[in-house]
Structure 1
Amino acid sequence: MNKLLNRRQFLTAASGATAALAGSLSLPALAAEGRERVRIGMIGTGMRGQVLLRELLRRDDVEVSALCDIEPIMLGKALAQVEKEGKPRPRTYGDNGDKHAYRAMLDAKELDGVIIATPWEWHAQMAIDAMQAKVPVGCEVVAGVSLQDHWDVLNTQLKTGTPYMLLENVCYRRDVMAVLQMVRSGLFGELVHLQGGYQHDLRAVKFNNGDPAKPYGSGVEFGGKGWSEARWRTEHSVQRNGELYPSHGIGPCAMYANINRGNRFTRINTFATKARGLHEYIVKQGGAEHPNAQAKFKLGDVVTTTISCENGETILLQHDTSLPRPYSLGFRVQGTNGLWMDVNHGIHIEGISKPHQWDDFQGYQDKFDHPLWRKYAEKASGAGHGGMDYFVIHAFIEALKANAPMPIDIYDAVTWSAITPLSEQSIAQNYQTLDFPDFTKGAWAKRKPIFAFGDKY
């Protein structure tokens, strides 16, 4: 858009975007080989797994056939959810504490798909095992830990052809999806710069007293003495320094910039501050004499990553989980005609907004509200994370039923998630700027931008 938008053009763009996308975003009729109902298994029935399980149990087109977890308390809670919903009791695996019991579940050849909601370090191997067993994968973020993990997951998917979807729920946030409509309608003009991140005070998540009834903020234990995420997630803050959780921020930004579909990441570098927040929390909550006050944390309190794109855009990500702060993903979409920022719920469009002033975003969101939200907002009501969890599970299930491509596919998964090991490498090499791997091996140039929270479901 080379001309300034006036108010009439703004209204036309809004209605045009909705009309143009509404047809393509409606759920497709099932293919001849499609299914009306699918059998789903779940590996990992912890607190995140139970949130996703709730969405599966709400659906009449899903049979939860199998559950796997090595923690009896969590497996019991998941079974209680199933019973409460009046659904048949699924087969269970892992009751004996065998960390590889999930393989027996996969080998049973009775699943149409599996959800992986385990600690990060298990994601890659479990996804590989599932794909080799020809069981389609819906994997919680992240896709892997090491860079080699990402190549291994990608190569397995390409070799087996088994569907794989990264369950990145922020791609389905209502304002994020409305902004996608705005981007595709040209409201911001040509995109120039994007920002996002994971800015979330997780101190009360990374520590507790080990009591299953008090998983958040009840103490300063972690590792073997902790419970839930404090048992495994905190150790990543001890051992690693980098952008440890990139997909919440990069997913929407990659969508806006058509990454892997006519555009790609080319270079990356990362800086990290000193690490103080987690130590200070332990001292404040548990006292300077507590043994964990001697723990050394590698993860910088604020980690800043910059990525360049083939088409000339830059993207800035920030990981900020160890200091006191309100939650924010810090989105910013900026183009030649204006910008949106979620921190102040503000938008500025040249020719519509008053010069040098913000407009409230709500009116724009109402006009550009995504057809999926218009259609399914009532069903999503009460779902986890403000409805986003309904949509991410909905997308996975509908793709399975229709034998359709996954909306957040293997290339998206490994590209977004590989930011973590690349950021670690950059920091370790004195903040060196690195080449970003092309996981598509050149296919990005011909792929069309009709992916993720978008064009079908």
Structure 2
Amino acid sequence: MHDENATPVPDESTDGHSRRAVLRTAGIAGAGLGLGTFAGGTARADTPDPARTAGAAEGPAGAAPARKGKTMIGVPFEARSTVRVGMIGLGNRGGGMIDLFLAQSGVRVVALCDPAKDKTAAAAKKVVAAGQPAPATYTNGDNDFEKLCARGDIDFVYVATPWDWHFEMAKTAMLNGKHVGVECPLALRLDHLWELVDLSERTRRHCMQLENCCYGKNEMRVLRMAHAGKFGDLLHGAGAYNHDLRQLMFDPTYYATPWRRLWHTRLRGDLYPNHGFGPVANYMDVNRGDRATHISSFGTPALGLAEYRKAHMPPGDPSWKETYIESDRTVSLVQTAKGRVIRLEHDVSTPHPYSRVNSLGGTKGLFEDYPARIYIEPDHTDDQWGDFSKYAAEFDHWLWKEHANPPGGHGGMDYLLVFRLMQCIRLGLVPDFDVYDGATWTAPVPLSHASIKAKGAPQEIPDFTRGLWRKARPGMDSEKPKAS
């Protein structure tokens, strides 16, 4: 039996939204895979040119569209004594994360949405058990989330639904004046990422990719060491989502519908770059003095899911109608404006131990994770890996010193993500990351697909900051606020 709390990273909701997501997915599976029909089901009349979604139509040399509002860089939340939260999606991910929202002081869960009435009822019971008033519930079909977003008593909307819905729900939340946080990926098309950036700027609402791995203990220690110059001048990094999900993707008790597996019939590239890309981008101050400029991706044949199906699924199972094209392993190289290189990997369909790779190298040495080990001068000169734990006292982030044994799943990173986000909203602080980071971390989804189709040809990564990446600014390496 799969233990969600033992899994190193999140697998998004098994909520009722996935019923329609399957229909949307099935509608375009195998239908030419034009990037203009990602994540929105069958093509609509307003579907943009596929070249636009592949990053080839933003103007000369990939120039950004004209800004439609003021930047959200450095914009603080409005301080409030109580943060009122609405949650959309209450399956595997949302059903667990609600416990962490309820564990925060100064946070009220006021509304819940999921077409699965049993999941919504179970979550509502948790709210009442925590001593809060019974939340409003929205279970009337796939689009009832619109009513939640329209409420006047919500400050922040949390989205943990199948990927097809992320863009639509984030957009609806902002148009209704709500800040919004979305489980990864933020969206699945470049034009949708640009639209979320523009909406965030126009509505003055933050739209964030809730990347929990940025709050991992090792990741935050490496971040502080990098900023302290322990690695010298940074040269290269690596991140990954290498997680054997074969059993879960074919398990109807885990995913109520096969929405996640069906993405393997639609794309060849990196479906889940955020867990690896986010932390390394933070180490290198991407969007804060450097930026990701290009990506080249390569993919293996797609054999793993078909072999697993042959060995484990009975004849007549609906999965036998599926044709998998997603590369069993994708490897991408990202170039930055300063000439650094970031390697990204994705593999969820072959047998292997779990790894996010999480590596950083510079002129003074190297850190590699899984297992954690370090070699930096002048501390190490004997060609033997050193003990990473020896750097804990000096370089652990204040969040990990203040919360030495945080509750919740994934080693505590989920709790620290929620704690810090709610703290920033309550105190009126600038968030640790913003819509520009989320768009950058997610852009490899469509761009890796385009690059693999073009035999590894580099794809330009848009500058979602529109030139403001050149200015150094704070990010994840935050100072502890004076107020709590």
2:239 matched to which residue of 1? Answer: 196
Q: Distance in 1 between matches of 2:354 and 2:428?
A: 37
2:100–2:408 CA contact under 8 A, matched in 1: yes
Conservation of the 8 A alpha-carbon contact between 1:65 and 1:90: yes
1:451 and 2:475 correspond: yes
8 Å Cα contact 1:163/1:405 also seen in 2: no
CA separation of 1:324/1:350 partners in 2, compared to 1, >3 Å: closer, same or farther?
same
Superposition map of 1:1-40 within 5 A: 34-40=79-85
Task: Indicate how the Cα distance of structure 1 residues 272 and 288 shifts in structure 2: closer, same or farther if over 3 A, else same.
Answer: farther
Q: Which amino acid aligns with 2:458?
A: T
In the TM superposition, what is the alpha-carbon distance from 1:32 to its structure 2 partner? 12
- Aligned pairs for 1:174-323 (under 5 A) are 174-208=217-251, 210=252, 214-215=253-254, 227-228=255-256, 230-287=257-314, 290=317, 292-323=319-350
Distance 1:255 1:68 in 2: 33
> Matched residue of 1:271: which SS?
strand
Counterpart of 2:44?
Answer: none
Match of 2:423, SS state, is helix
Q: Does the CA contact (< 8 Å) of 1:42 and 1:116 recur in 2? A: yes
Q: Deviations 1:193-218 (Å, cap 9, x if unpaired)? A: 1001101011122111x3xxx32xxx
Q: What secondary structure does 2:403 align onto?
A: helix
For residue 354 of structure 1, the aligned residue among 370, 381, 386 is 381
Structure 1 residue 294: Cα displacement: 4.9
1:113 aligns with 2:156: yes
What corresponds to 1:434 in structure 2? 459
Instruction: Indicate conservation of the 8 Å contact 1:40/1:115, yes or no.
Output: yes
Letter in 2 for 1:454: S
Determine the C-alpha separation between the residues in 2 that align with 1:138 and 1:368.
28
Matches within 5 A, 1:113-132: 113-132=156-175
Q: Is the 8 A contact 1:138 1:396 kept in 2?
A: no
SS at match of 1:41: strand
CA distance, structure 2, for counterparts of residue 96 and residue 294 of structure 1: 31
Q: Kindly state the Cα deviation for residue 419 of structure 1 after the two structures are TM-superposed.
A: 1.2
Structure with greater helix share of residues = 1
Task: Name the counterpart of 1:20.
Answer: none
1:415 corresponds to which of 418, 440, 446: 440
Is 1:92 aligned to residue 137 of structure 2?
yes
- Which residue is 2:96 aligned to? 51
Q: Does residue 216 of structure 2 align to residue 170 of structure 1? A: no
Does 1:83 pair with 2:128?
A: yes
The answer to which of 327-336 and 83-92 deviates more is: 83-92
Pick one of 384, 391, 409 that aligns with 2:409.
Answer: 384
Amino acid at match of 1:171: C
Return the offset for 1:364: 2.1
> Is the counterpart of residue 329 in structure 1 residue 356 in structure 2?
yes
SS at match of 1:204: helix
Shift of residue 453 of structure 1?
Answer: 5.3
- 2:372 alignment counterpart: 345
Encode CA deviations 1:399-429: one digit per residue, 9 max, x unaligned. 2212322211011010111111111111122
What are structure 1's unaligned runs of at least 5 residues?
1-30, 216-226
Query: What's the CA shift for 1:431?
Result: 1.9
Work out the CA distance in 1 between the residues paired with 2:467 and 2:330. Answer: 30
Identical counterparts, % of pairs: 37
Normalising to structure 1: TM-score of the pair?
0.85
Aligned residues: 406
> Which of 395, 415, 424 does residue 368 from structure 1 map onto?
395
Name the counterpart of 1:142. Answer: 185
Q: 2:418 aligns with which of 384, 393, 398?
A: 393
- Residue 155 of structure 1, CA deviation: 0.7
Alpha-carbon separation, structure 2, partners of 1:33 and 1:395: 15
Per-residue CA distance 1:419-442 (angstroms, 9 max, x = gap): 111111111222211121111111
- Aligned residues of 2:77 and 2:425 also touching (Cα < 8 A): no
CA contact (8 A) 2:77 2:429 kept: no
Distance in 2 between residues matched to 1:400 and 1:291, nearest whole Å: 45
Q: Which residue of 1 aligns with 2:63?
A: none
Name the counterpart of 2:115.
70
Take 1:231 and 1:429, find their aligned partners in 2: how far apart are those partners?
29
Distance in 2 between residues matched to 1:37 and 1:365, nearest whole Å? 33
Q: Output the amino acid matched with 2:414.
A: D
TM-score, with normalisation over the residues of structure 2? 0.81
| Moved >6 Å (runs of 4+) | none
Which residue of the partner structure matches residue 28 of structure 1? none
The farther-off stretch of 419-428 and 81-90 is 81-90
Q: Distance in 1 between matches of 2:97 and 2:479?
A: 23
Q: Give the deviation of 1:398 after TM superposition.
A: 1.5
Q: Secondary structure at the match of 2:214?
A: helix
Within 2, Cα distance between the matches of 1:32 and 1:301?
Answer: 41
What residue identity is the alignment partner of 1:253? V
> Is the CA contact (8 Å cut-off) linking 2:398 and 2:480 kept in structure 1?
no
Aligned partners of 2:385 and 2:184: how far apart in 1? 34
1:287 deviation in Å?
4.7
Deviations along 1:288-328, one digit per CA (max 9) or x if unpaired, are 67553452111110000100011111000000110111111
Give 1:15's aligned residue. Answer: none
Would the aligned equivalents of 1:138 and 1:167 in 2 still touch at CA under 8 Å?
Answer: yes
| SS of residue paired to 1:377 | coil
Q: d(CA) in 1 for partners of 2:246 and 2:240? A: 17
Separation in 1, partners of 2:77, 2:377: 48
State the alpha-carbon separation in 2 of the partners of residues 278 and 32 from structure 1. Answer: 44
1:242–1:427 contact (8 Å) kept in structure 2: yes
- Unaligned 5+ segments in structure 2 are 1-75
Gap change, CA 1:236 and 1:32, over 3 Å in 2: closer
1:58 Cα offset (Å) = 1.0
Q: Deviations over 1:223-252 (max 9, x none)?
A: xxxx34x53111111111111111100011
